Amino acid sequence: MWLLYALGAAFFAGITSILAKIGIKNTDSTIATAIRTIIVLLFAWLMVLIVGSYSTISEISSKSLLFLALSGLATGGSWLCYFKALQLGDVNKVVPIDKSSTVLTMILAIIFLGEEFTLLKGISMVVLLVGTLLLIERKDIRNNKNIKGSWLFFAILSAVFASLTAILGKVGISGVESNLGTALRTIVVLFMSWIMVFVVRKQGEIKSINRIELLFILLSGLATGASWLFYYKALQLGEASVVVPIDKLSIVITILFTVFILKEKISKKSILGLILIVAGTILLLI
């Protein structure tokens, strides 16, 4: 069953990037992140009410609360960096860098969570890494080298924070109903996002957001909420080193949408990279 949840997370995560890219064309990415987090929070707590898990809040251990909070902080950092990178660069360039967090997450899960390392898992890690590297054009790295204002800088930070999110979330969600855990950690993300809006002094731009862009920002929030609910349910039931790579298949969905909807170009090398990423994920399921 965890496999279905992981695939559901991948689908909604894939369309999130497209919706968000359209929504932040002229809207500051920090403001967009803060607004969409409100939708994610409302969506998450609605699910908590539906499944009735709110009554178990008092039973959550202090350790779980701590790691859920840390996971929320890591998520907030990942989101802020990711959507800033999306605003500065093309989706099919930003997403591969962000998804490189897959291999790092697998390594951390084996080291810190004690998950089993097998030869097949090792091979899949190598295949996933090669596939991800093929998606990254050398000219993109040269053009963005040592530029802290570039999409590459923010995309790399997004990947690091995303890896920490999965590991911290796996520990925090243990013994906690997944919908409730998602809702609690989203509170942290919401506070962090809005604090950043005021830190960069962008609150005055909220009133001038284009209605069409606002609609896509809200839709991306709904897609993220759905992705999270599936993702943390999958994490609760399966191994992080397997769930995370499946979730990262969203890169295939995202790039297909960028080609057909956003009309971004994709090279033959990138297509090969996508094939390897899918192959590496399939190896994990054997």
Give tens-digit pLDDT for 21-42: 888 888 998 999 999 999 999 9
So what's the pLDDT on residue 282? Answer: 80
- End-to-end alpha-carbon separation of the chain, Å? 16
C-alpha 79 chain-centroid distance: 7
Q: Give CA–CA dist 131/125, Å, rounded.
A: 10
H-type helices in 24-89, by residue range? 29-51, 62-88
Please check the confidence at residue 149 and state whether its pLDDT lies above 60: no
Q: What is the mean pLDDT of residues 48-65?
A: 89
Provide the pLDDT for residue 77.
92
Q: Which of the pair, 124 or 242, is modelled with greater confidence? A: 124
Amino acid letter, residue 14: G
Each residue of 135-153: b (16+ CB within 10 Å) or e? bbeeebeeebeeeeebbbb
142 pLDDT tier (thresholds 50, 70, 90): low
Number of domains in the chain: 1
Each residue's pLDDT tens digit, 68-115: 999 999 999 998 998 888 888 877 778 777 777 878 888 888 898 888
Domain that holds residue 185: 2-285
What pTM did the predictor assign? 0.78
